[in-house]
Amino acid sequence: MQEKIKLLTNLLTTSTLQKNQIMNKIVQTIQRTEDISKAKVLKERIMNGNFSRITEGTIDDLIKAFSPVVESKVFEKQERVIKINTNQEMNSNKDLNMEFRIKELEELLAESESKAKEELEKRLQAESLMLDLMCKLNINDRFELVTVTEEEIQKKYTDFLIGDSIQVDLSLLNKIILKEYYKIK
């Protein structure tokens, strides 16, 4: 526990953040497990070097919160070295990124083609069921063929998505919209 307190004190004194930023960060970290009223009191104690009522869990959280500031500075330095010394590597990195991007797009295309195929199968199935039903119902002059326009379909979807529709529309739930259907006159 004493070693952790020493480490935390060290991190706080070597931090490049402004004093206000350090205090805010302490409060935000402690607030994950304690109410803000307590977090502010503990912050004052920590800033004064008083760790008497600070739990080990809180100290661990604070060490974690203040550690990345030091590590990222080291990481940045390494990156700068790479950029200055290896222009050739950067070019080959560009090619690698391009290849990766092409692969991503190919996968997306395959996915959307497979989805389109699925939709088509569903539509054909629905039409076949419709034909069966027409035969069973012995469709004749009593029935009127209704065509659904694109605008009507769009409105149905919009109402469904924004929740204005209060009726459960089975065709929407099954993601099938029939463009034509028979209605009894």
Partner 1 sequence: MLTNKYYENFITANEGIVNRRQLLKDIIETEEKTGVELLDWEEVQLSIFLQGSVSTAGVSKNFVVLKKFADFICKQENLPKRVYTFEQESLLDYVDKDSLKARTLSYAQYIDIKNQFNMEDLKTGERINTRNSVIFELAWTGLTNEEITNLKEEDIEFIGDIAILTLGERIVRLEDTEIIENVKLCMKETYYMVLNKTGFYNKYNYRDSEYLIKPANVGRSKDGNIKSMSIAFSNILRNYDVKCEGVNIEELCLNDIRRSKMIYMLAPENEEMFDMDTIMGIFNLRSASSLLWLKEIAKEIYPV
Which residues here bind partner 1, judged by CB under 8 A? 31, 33-38, 40-42, 53, 161-168
Minimum CB distance to partner 1, residue 80 (Å): 35
| Nearer to partner 1 among residue 28 and residue 92 (C-beta) | 28
Spatial distance between the Cα atoms of 89 and 139, rounded to a whole number of angstroms: 72
- Looking only at the bridges linking them, the beta strands covering 180-184 and 143-147 are antiparallel
Q: Which is nearer to partner 1, 4 or 40 (CB)?
A: 40
User: What is the SS3 assignment for 183?
Assistant: strand
At 143 the three-state DSSP class reads strand
- Residue closer to partner 1 by CB (options 32, 83) is 32
Tell me whether residue 33 or residue 72 sits nearer to partner 1 (CB atom).
33
Question: Could you tell me the smallest distance in angstroms from the CB atom of residue 41 to partner 1?
Answer: 5
Cα-Cα end-to-end distance for the chain: 84
Query: What is the nearest approach in angstroms of partner 1 to the Cβ of residue 26?
Result: 14
- Nearest Cα neighbor of 16 from 64, 72, 87 is 72
Residues 68/16, Cβ–Cβ less than 8 Å: no
Q: Which among 30, 57, 65 is positioned nearest to 45, based on CA atoms?
A: 30
Least separation in angstroms between residue 126's CB and partner 1 is 23
Torsion of CA 158, 163, 164, 166, to 10 degrees: 120
Q: For partner 1, which is the closer residue by CB, 5 or 172?
A: 172
Least Å distance, CB 173 to partner 1, is 10
